[in-house]
Amino acid sequence: MRYTILLHYPELMAAGELDEAAIEQGQAAFHRYAADLSAAGVLISAEVLAPSSSTTTVTAIDDDFRIQDGPFADTKEQLGGTFVIDVADLDAALAWAKQAPSAQWGPTEVRPGATHWAGDSWV
Amino acid sequence: MKPVSDEVRAAADRAARTSYGRLLALLAAPTRDIPLAEDSLADAFEQALHTWAEHGIPNNPEAWLLTVARNRQRDVFKSAAHRTSTDLEEGSAVTDLDAIDPDAIPDKRLELLFACAHPAIAPEVRTPLMLHTVLGFEAAQIAEAFGVPAVTMAQRLVRAKKRIRTAGIPFTIPGRADMPSRLAFVLEAIYGAYTIDWESLSADPDPLESLAAESLYLAVTVAALLEIEPEAWALAALIALSSSRAPARYVDGVFVPFDAHDPARWDPALIVEGEAYLRRAHGLGMPRGRFQLEAAIQSVHCDRRRTGVTDRTALAALYRALVEVAPTAGARQALAAVEVAAGLRRE
């Protein structure tokens, strides 16, 4: 089954609250995590997002679109990255989610995929 | 014809439910699709009514039901409507079922129990889901026991069953590392089935039909299937020992407080049964868990039947240990009360 692991955490780095050593440590942890997922043959894709201060939200209003500075929901924890994995079941997905470096700093969501685009159709 | 006694009827109900749970668990395990397994099994039972009436009951009724239900499941998988919403993994599940020898049907009820009490299932629906799938109780019966409208309970069960499939909750027995926490959820859910009925137990004219008896049956089933888990045996002991006092809780329809019970009214067979489970739990030689301590407390109480007195010093020691392991408000209150009664603490 395909699951997307959604990492939510407070944006300490963007807020300038992390020193150089902590940032390097975090990057090394994310490198190890992705390498482990890849070595286990379960990784489909991995994406770490830029801070939510750089995001732009598009909302349909009447016949037009409103373009807004900032995230859709302004919360303390922001979506910071996604890992799409293919594993046997929820227990396997949860085991990987617990190993995500950010799981120590914020909630990690494990969501099954309903369908995904492959080639020229949804499967 | 002789009228069927309540005991015989209860035994027949139990046998039917055991079969139901075993077959449902087996049919649902590979696909995690409980509603489809339920539908297939319902079809098989209905077909049995007609076929068995005409041709007699087959030698192995469970194998017959399994085969018919399995064919029904396969038909659904083959149908175009289902093909678009199913993946290869589910398709191969039918092949898994084919590999099962109907004469040696494996017991997958434990896997089903672990799915029902999975941490990803809301705690309040775990006990109802367990009663519904493993024991085959209707949503309306469970709703009555939990004091909620039948429609509400039916909706909760439908949601939970759907969630097992869509979230990918596995039908597996957890490994050693996860076992303690995951087993605790299963035991909690079974204990939940016992406690909801506790108040009405003695008012029930036929305790065999009560959920207390069913929860004991589930606890023993889990303990026997896992073999070496002391807390599972301890829960069976706790329920058996607590249930033994049911006949003394009401005398002529009047509630009797526990201290005023006439121990002669307690059920000696359940006490013997409970003590045997408790010895088995202790014999597994691990640090005593919550249910072992609670069962030991009930054992001390039950010993009043033999000695005529309650060993309050032993009770106080057990409650102190219980407060260490499971520091609930109830355990602390009970400890305080027992220490006062034992003269170990001033009121």
pLDDT band at B345 (very low <50, low <70, confident <90, very high): confident
For B252, which DSSP code?
T
Query: What pTM does this model have?
Result: 0.82
Q: Which of B168, B170, B172 sits opposite A112 (nearest CB)?
A: B168
CA distance, residue B170 to nearest chain A CA (Å): 6
Percentage of residues in chain B having pLDDT higher than 90: 49
In terms of pLDDT, which residue wins out, B135 or B267?
B267
B328: left (phi over 0), alpha (psi -120 to 50) or beta: beta
* Contact criterion met (CB below 8 Å) for B244 and B274: yes
Residue B168 near chain A (CB below 8 Å): yes
The Cα B319–Cα B299 span in angstroms is 13
Per the DSSP assignment, residues forming a β-bridge with B235 are none
CA distance, residue A122 to nearest chain B CA (Å): 11
SS3 content of chain A, % helix, strand, coil (to 5): 30, 35, 35
Residue B67 near chain A (CB below 8 Å): no
Model confidence pLDDT, tens digit, residues B73-122: 988 877 755 555 544 344 444 455 556 665 567 788 899 999 999 999 99
If you measure CA to CA, which chain A residue comes closest to B175?
A: A91
Query: Are A89 and B166 in contact (CB < 8 Å)?
Result: no
The sign of the torsion formed by the CA atoms of B129, B135, B136, B137 equals: negative
Q: Which of B167, B170, B174 sits opposite A112 (nearest CB)?
A: B167
Query: Are A112 and B174 in contact (CB < 8 Å)?
Result: no
CA distance, residue B29 to nearest chain A CA (Å): 12
pLDDT of residue B175 exceeding 70: yes
Tell me the pLDDT of chain A (123 aa) as tens digits: 999 999 999 988 777 888 899 999 999 999 999 999 999 999 999 999 999 989 999 999 999 999 999 888 888 899 999 999 999 999 999 999 999 999 998 999 999 999 999 999 999
Chain A CB contacts of B166 under 8 Å are: 112
If you measure CA to CA, which chain B residue comes closest to A92?
A: B170
CB pairs under 8 A between A and B: 24
Query: Are B166 and A91 in contact (CB < 8 Å)?
Result: no
